[in-house]
Amino acid sequence: MDHLTPPVELIAQNNVGIHDKENILAEYRKIGTYLFTVLKNRAGVRPDSDILDMGCGLGRVAAPFTTYLTSGSYTGVDVVKSSIDWCAERYSGLPNFRFIHADLYSEFYNPKATVSAENYRFPFEDGSFDVVWSSSLFTHMLFDAVDNYLGEMSRVLKPGGRIWNSYLLLDEISEPLVHGRPRSDGRRMEHEVKGGRVGWKDKPEWVVGLRLDGINELHRKHGLEIVETQLSNWSGGREDVPYKGQDVIIARKAS
């Protein structure tokens, strides 16, 4: 699948969640394979599933699905047009894969757009997908935007379908620990906002922590039954949890 691996320069330019700068391609493939495995095992993706990846980037999760999906389909949506253009060209020979540009305002990824995430309606019919997910999307979105996206995810899900989203969730353990960290620490969230905290008041979308009870309430509001919440040790307060990545909530749409 080398032709589905983007060049290092494009990965860096589009800021695709890379931390190991010395081994960008290896990390890119590793994360894609990991998320592919998780979505199969925990979100219930099957070879015949119609799946939606919100914030698909350069297709790091799409690539492993090319050899897994049979009668199913993959749709990726992202605000970065260069990512969507690259994916659309590279996956053009696969009719069950499509990529859509969401021309939405993002301070870091699409600053010239005028439509906000709070008002975005997904360009799909009701009940179009079996599984919808996002990875490190809600860590850069404020509460009202997340509210809208969870509502849209629910709308486009088939009855019984599942969603899988990652967050930086704030509760009685994690929230007290996000104060007083060095400014360069990505876990620093000094500033109160609706439903949570942010690290930079002038750049609120850079890192967003959302309160767990508020996110739970949004799931109920949109008819989504939470079936699993995995809290990690990203804050450093859960020493008995070895995983230090983002928190995950898996939910099911009521039949």
Predicted local confidence at residue 83, as pLDDT: 94
Please compute the mean of the pLDDT values over residues 5-26 and round it to a whole number: 75
Least confident stretch, 17-21, 70-74, 230-234: 17-21
**Predicted confidence (pLDDT) per residue in 59-108, tens digit:** 999 999 999 999 999 999 999 999 999 999 999 999 999 999 999 998 88
In this prediction, residues 34-48 reach a mean pLDDT of: 96
Identify the pLDDT of residue 91: 97
Domain 2-169+210-253 annotated CATH 3.30.710.10: no
207, 140 Cβ separation under 8 angstroms = yes
Q: What is the pLDDT of residue 119?
A: 95
Least confident of 10-19, 30-39, 206-215: 10-19
Residue among 90, 89, 41, 30 nearest 68 (CA): 41
Round the average pLDDT of the chain to a whole number and report it.
Answer: 93
Q: What token pair was written down for 106?
A: 């993002």
| Residue range 30-36: mean pLDDT, rounded | 93
Say yes or no to pLDDT of 138 above 70. Answer: yes
- The confidence band for 24, taking pLDDT boundaries of 50, 70 and 90, is confident
- Kindly report, residue by residue over 158-170, the tens digit of the pLDDT: 999 999 999 999 9
Q: Collapse the DSSP code of 52 into the 3-class scheme (helix H, G, I; strand E, B; otherwise coil) and give the result.
A: strand
Q: What pLDDT does 123 receive? A: 98
Which of the 8 DSSP states describes residue 104? B
Percent of the chain past pLDDT 90, that is, above it, reads: 78
Please give the C-alpha separations between residue 82 and each of 118, 155, 172, 180, in angstroms, as whole numbers.
23, 28, 40, 37
- Give the confidence band of 147 by pLDDT, cuts at 50, 70, 90: very high
CA–CA gap between residue 49 and residue 71 (Å, rounded): 7
pLDDT for residue 28:
86
Which of 218, 219, 191, 216 shows the shortest CA–CA distance to 205? 191
The stretch 207-217 carries a mean pLDDT of: 97
What pLDDT does 6 receive?
85
Q: What is the DSSP string of 107-156?
A: TTTBTT--B-GGGPPPSS-TT-EEEEEESSSGGGS-HHHHHHHHHHHHHH
166, 138 contact by CB (below 8 A) = yes
User: Mean per-residue pLDDT for 190-197?
Assistant: 96
Residue 125 to residues 152, 157, 239, Cα–Cα distance (Å): 10, 9, 44
pLDDT higher than 70, residue 18 = no
- Of 117, 123, 79, 119, nearest to 101 by C-alpha is 79
Predicted model pTM = 0.94
Q: pLDDT at residue 183 above 90?
A: no
Q: Is residue 57 over pLDDT 90?
A: yes
